[in-house]
């Protein structure tokens, strides 16, 4: 991280204790809590604190993660961690990308969202590729406005019909490179070892603990 003069600043360390998970997505909260378990962190969800969900006006995953983390830290008076993640499909020009959650509609129906993705690929014709990747941006903010951000990625291909009932979101249609099962079929421990969120977390853990 650099200051306004371009000088490198030391990354701030996170002390054990309470940390707000700035999300109302139960699946995402569960994954983050499991990843934080070994580090003496007591996760509290934004929903449990009745914190509002900010409008995601950023133009990058990191920008959206930062605005969510900073609002949660400001309103709670505690450090806050936010995740902004999405599925980027090459055949769809990178969509749904930043709008991955919005494709699921107000009821967060990811069965509908996955169908929309697949219909979009099929509309491109038989030569459309199935390559895709997940991006996860993590932002860790403190009440004084300090923020650290990290971004992870995992590449894979899309399958249809969706497979498995584990994970959440688009997991059942995404098969990571080097595997023959989808995230929806993969045990949580295995996914935690190699997902986009795991990649971002590995960077965060190395930096702040």
d(CA 22, CA 52): 9
Residues belonging to the active site = 84
Q: Residue 167, by phi and psi: left (phi above 0), alpha (psi -120 to 50) or beta?
A: left
SS (H, E, C) the chain: CECCCCCECCCCCCCCEEEEECCCCHHHHHHHHHHHHHHCEEEEECCCCCCCCCCCCCCCHHHHHHHHHHHHHHHHCCCEEEEEEEEEEHHHCCCEHHHCCHHHCCCCCHHHHHHHHHHHHHHCCCCCCCEEEEEEEEEEECCCCCEEEEEEEEEEEECCCCCCCCCCCCHHHEEECCCCCCHHHCCHHHHHHHCHHHHHHHHHHHHHC
HSE (CB half, 13 Å, CA atoms) of 119?
7
């Amino acid at each position: 991280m650099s200051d306004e003069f371009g000088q490198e600043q030391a990354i701030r360390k996170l002390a054990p204790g309470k940390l707000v998970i700035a999300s109302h997505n139960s699946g995402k909260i569960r994954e983050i809590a499991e990843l934080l378990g070994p580090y003496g962190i007591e996760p509290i969800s934004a929903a449990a604190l009745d914190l509002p969900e900010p409008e995601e006006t950023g133009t990058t995953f990191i920008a959206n993660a930062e605005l969510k983390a900073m609002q949660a830290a400001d309103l709670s008076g505690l450090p806050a961690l936010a995740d902004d993640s999405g599925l980027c499909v090459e055949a769809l020009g990178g969509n749904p990308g930043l709008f991955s959650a919005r494709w699921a509609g107000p009821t967060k129906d990811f069965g509908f969202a996955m169908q929309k993705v697949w219909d979009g690929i099929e509309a491109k014709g038989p030569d459309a590729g199935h390559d895709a990747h997940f991006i996860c941006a993590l932002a860790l903010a403190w009440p004084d406005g300090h923020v650290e951000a990290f971004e992870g990625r995992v590449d894979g291909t899309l399958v249809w019909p969706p497979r498995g009932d584990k994970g959440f979101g688009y997991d059942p249609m995404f098969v990571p490179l080097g595997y023959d099962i989808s995230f929806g079929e993969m045990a949580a421990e295995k996914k935690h070892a190699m997902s986009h969120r795991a990649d971002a977390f590995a960077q965060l853990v190395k930096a702040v603990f």
